[in-house]
Amino acid sequence: MYKAIAFFLIVFCLCPAVAQDDEEIPIEEWDVGTPSLYSNGEQNFAISLGIVIPLLFNGEDGKVTNNVKLGSTLALAYNYYLASHFFLGGEVSGMFAATIGENMLFVVPFGLRVGYEFVLKKFEFPVSLMFGAAIQKYLETDYFGFFLKPAVSILFRFNPDWSFGLNTAWWIVPEWVKESRKNITGHFFEITLSAKYHF
């Protein structure tokens, strides 16, 4: 009988130890969700440099001949995170491109941006939409109007302060004038390299 009591006491004492060992398993081994790099209130600033490819120009009477060459662009953007992946911010950029006639087209877009950032380990995949206005200048003609830019990026979190990567975006640049037959919408494709500073 004493042996049975001793046996039950040993088992009773070992059960909490076994349960404690189970509880000490790191939660990371079981966590299969998407990790978060940001929290509410975090901010970052990005600078991007690259090219803008003119694609097509749509007019009221159909497609308009494209006489714009490859352009260059520089952009500055600010993001404020409202949650782990959702951000709001602003952007200002500039683009210049020569035409076939060796004249210069200048476009300076600025506006607000809203986006959602997917995260996979040290890789970030921001998807954003910028909407605002753009100043356009070609020869003696100036125009100020609506601007829209959806964008997708892939960035690598190099360290806690910096991320580096590639951006792709679609520029929608309309020119709507009093004579609707002269309305035209330009479409450009942006490819830029980006450096993002986190603070």
Distance CA 113, CA 77 (A): 9
30 part of a folded domain: no
CB 89 within 8 Å of CB 117: no
pLDDT for the residue 37 = 67
DSSP-assigned letter for residue 177:
-
23 part of a folded domain: no
Model pTM score: 0.75
52 part of a folded domain: yes
What residues make up the domain containing 150?
Answer: 43-198
Distance CA 45, CA 162 (A): 10
pLDDT (tens digit, 9 = 90+) per residue, 22-49? 444 444 443 444 455 677 888 999 999 9
* Residues contacting 60, CB < 8 A, separation 6+: 180, 181, 182, 183, 184
pLDDT for the residue 66 = 79
61 part of a folded domain: yes
18 part of a folded domain: no
How many other CB atoms are there within 10 angstroms of residue 168's CB atom?
14
| Chunked mean pLDDT (size 10), the chain, 199 residues | 49 49 46 58 94 86 78 96 93 94 92 95 94 92 93 94 96 84 88 95
Q: Which of 132, 170, 166, 167 is nearest to 150 (CA)?
A: 170
pLDDT for the residue 61 = 66
pLDDT for the residue 27 = 44
SS3 163: strand
- Residue 182 phi, psi (nearest 5): -95, 0
What count of Cα atoms within 13 Å lies in the side-chain half-sphere of residue 118?
A: 6
CATH of the domain at 135: 2.40.160.20
- Residue 111 phi, psi (nearest 5): 170, -170
22 part of a folded domain: no
CB 75 within 8 Å of CB 95: no
